[in-house]
Amino acid sequence: MAKNITSIKRLNPTAVLTITLLALMLVGGILSGIWGFALGREALKGVSQPDARPTAKKNQKESQLVSKPLVFLKEADILKTVKTRIQEKGNQAKPEKKEADSNANEKLIAKAEAAQKPPTVPGFPITTKDKGVVLEIRSTRQQEGFLMLDVSLKNESSQPVKFVYTFLDVTDNWGRPLSANIEGLPGELPANSQAFTGTVNIPNSVLENAEQLSLTLTDYPEQKIRLQAAGIPIAKSSN
């Protein structure tokens, strides 16, 4: 006994301090582990483990399907349903057919109306107006060695207007004056009159290399009205 006490007294103080620190660290680690475990357990309250068997629900649904009895449709009911659907499709197709027939009839009517209308000549009519008097060049054509311009005159003013057609001035696109005479138009246009039609006749012999015409017509004797039309295309002979 005396020897043991003597050996303890002989222990190095440094060793004693080291052993004490190690013991304190061990105790502190154990206490920290216990505290951390308690906190983790508290945080995971209410969290359940997921179902690790995904096929369980599928098997449950399949069992429910298998448990239901199979119901077979009667042949009469199937035929009745098919017949009803065929009738519904037929009723839907009839209005479409009627609509198509209606559109076809409208197209035929439009073609017939278009055939009844006189053909339009490109560039015509050419219209000029001054002080209520309207001159319209409707078309040009070739006939018996003459270029004939189909024209009309209309007086929309409240005063009658006189013309002397020998004063009609006609030139080609080269500026050359051309001889011409007018047929069918009256010498005097009454006030608020209807349109009077006539022709301007020009010999083909004076139209060499000409492509377009211009004409000017004034009233007589005041010459206050001046009707001018330019760019009148010349109809080519079919010969």
Reported as a single tens digit per residue, the pLDDT across 6-50 is 555 555 788 888 888 888 888 888 888 888 888 877 777 766 665
Question: Residue 118: what pLDDT?
Answer: 43
Under a CB-based contact definition with an 8 Å cutoff, are residues 154 and 195 in contact?
yes
For residue 116, name the pLDDT band (cuts at 50, 70, 90).
very low
CA atoms within 13 A on the CB side of 28: 6
Reported as a single tens digit per residue, the pLDDT across 131-152 is 999 999 999 999 989 999 999 9
More confident position, 80 or 158: 158
Nearest to 151 by CA among 181, 125, 188: 125
Under a CB-based contact definition with an 8 Å cutoff, are residues 152 and 136 in contact?
yes
Query: How many CB atoms sit inside 10 A of residue 155's CB?
Result: 23
Reported as a single tens digit per residue, the pLDDT across 61-81 is 555 555 556 666 677 777 778
